[in-house]
Each structure stands twice: as structure tokens, then as C-alpha cells.
């Protein structure tokens, strides 16, 4: 689903005549190696050669006119497992800063706002996007205007885990009503890559 959305955005950008956007003007950032490989494969098959796809660390010191961020959406069936690991990707000040500052003209965030909003810093940023008219898709799942950047890292982590527990409980209730299963067979190794700080590129 999320990879298809990335592909759709790339197609719309490439079809745009004003301004003209080339493949080398577009970058895609995603936290997991499997997602990187998947997006590269999909884009190669849809005239996306030249689009850089990589992790946050790979984009250190680089910019593109357009950056698409694929945060890896959690499915309802695997939400508890995904949230506990995806949180390690979003709750990181340095990765957040690099992620949102790579775009020269347009930044597109693709993901689950309920997951990103667990981190008050992301919630504050997404609230700003919503207030400024840049929000697309499902309604924002919280009241706008949260001052998340006032939290320390430890406070953000504590608040996020409290919100996570509430979201997991709501999802469990939803799964029971839908007859859903447990956490599924997500790949632990691939998910853990989103939590590990890989070597950062030197600024060019």
C-alpha cells in the first residue's frame, strides 16, 4: 500500500510539466533495508531510474528538489509489533532533522499519522503541516497545535509509550471485533534496522 503510494507520487511528479521534475530531482527516504530494496525495484519497473532511494543516514549532506519519506505504515494485524519497532525510527531527533531538511522545494510524508504522532516532535511537525494546508488523506487523529518540540527526549519517550499503550488497546479491541489475529510474522531483523544508528555520511 505505502510503496504504491510512493509510486503514485513519483508518477504525478514526473507527469507535471510546470515545474518539470526529473528523476534526479527526486529522493525517497525510508528506514528499513527491505523497504529500500522494494521501492527501488518498483521504481525501476516504472521509469524511475535515477531516483535515489535510501535510509536517513544515506541522505546526510544531500538534498533533492523533492523528498518522499516512506515511514512504513503499520497494518492493523501487526500494529503492536510494528509500533514498538517503528517508534525507534521516529523517536530520534537527528534522524527527524535530517529527514525533514533534505527537500529543497517539496517534502511528502507517507505513513500512518497515528504512529508518527506517538512522538510529540513528529506530532508538532504534522500539526504545523495540517494548519498550513499541506495535509492530505485521512483526518488528523489529534487536535492540532501540539507543542511537541518542548519535550526532552526522555519525556517524549514516556509520553509516546503511554500513547502507544492506549493505541494498542484500541487496536486489540478492533481486531477482536473484526476477527483479526496476532502480531503476524514480521521480519525481526529488518524491523530492527530501523532502530540502529548506521554510520552517517560525511557532508559533501
pLDDT in tens, 2-12: 899 999 999 99
State the number of CA atoms in the 13 A half-sphere of 117 facing the CB. Answer: 19
pLDDT in tens, 54-97: 999 999 899 999 999 998 755 555 555 655 666 556 667 888 89
Looking at residue 185, what is its pLDDT? 47
Looking at residue 152, what is its pLDDT? 53
Q: Which domains does the chain have, with CATH numbers?
A: 2-180 (3.40.50.300)
pLDDT in tens, 130-172: 989 999 988 888 875 454 444 455 555 566 566 666 655 655 5
Distance CA 118, CA 135 (A): 18
What percent of the chain has a predicted confidence (pLDDT) above 90? 32
Distance CA 161, CA 76 (A): 18
Per-position DSSP letters for 100-166, written without gaps between them: HTSEEEEEEEES-HHHHTTSHHHHHHHHHHHHTT---SSPPSS-S---GGGS-HHHHHHHHHHHHHH
> Poorest-confidence range of 3-7, 97-101, 195-199?
195-199
Distance CA 28, CA 56 (A): 9
pLDDT band per the 50, 70, 90 thresholds, residue 119:
confident
Looking at residue 184, what is its pLDDT? 45
Q: What predicted TM-score, i.e. pTM, was given to this entire model?
A: 0.72
Amino acid at each position: 500500500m505505502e510503496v504504491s503510494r510512493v509510486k503514485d507520487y513519483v508518477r504525478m511528479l514526473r507527469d507535471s510539466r510546470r515545474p518539470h521534475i526529473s528523476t534526479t530531482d527526486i529522493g525517497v527516504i525510508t528506514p528499513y533495508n527491505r523497504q529500500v530494496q522494494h521501492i527501488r525495484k518498483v521504481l525501476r519497473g516504472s521509469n524511475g531510474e535515477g531516483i535515489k532511494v535510501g535510509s536517513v543516514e544515506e541522505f546526510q549532506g544531500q538534498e533533492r528538489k523533492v523528498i518522499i519519506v516512506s515511514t512504513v505504515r503499520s497494518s492493523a494485524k501487526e500494529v503492536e509489533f510494528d509500533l514498538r519497532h517503528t517508534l525507534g525510527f521516529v523517536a530520534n531527533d537527528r534522524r527527524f532533522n535530517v529527514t525533514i531538511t533534505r527537500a529543497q522545494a517539496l517534502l511528502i510524508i507517507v505513513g500512518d499519522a497515528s504512529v508518527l504522532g506517538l512522538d510529540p516532535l513528529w506530532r508538532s511537525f504534522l500539526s504545523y503541516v495540517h494548519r498550513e494546508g499541506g495535509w492530505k488523506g485521512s483526518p488528523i487523529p489529534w487536535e492540532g497545535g501540539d507543542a511537541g518540540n518542548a519535550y526532552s527526549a526522555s519525556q517524549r519517550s514516556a509520553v509516546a509509550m503511554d500513547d502507544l499503550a492506549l493505541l494498542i488497546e484500541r487496536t486489540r479491541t478492533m481486531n477482536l471485533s473484526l476477527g483479526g489475529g496476532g502480531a503476524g510474522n514480521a521480519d525481526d531483523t529488518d524491523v530492527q534496522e530501523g532502530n540502529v544508528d548506521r554510520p552517517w555520511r560525511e557532508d559533501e
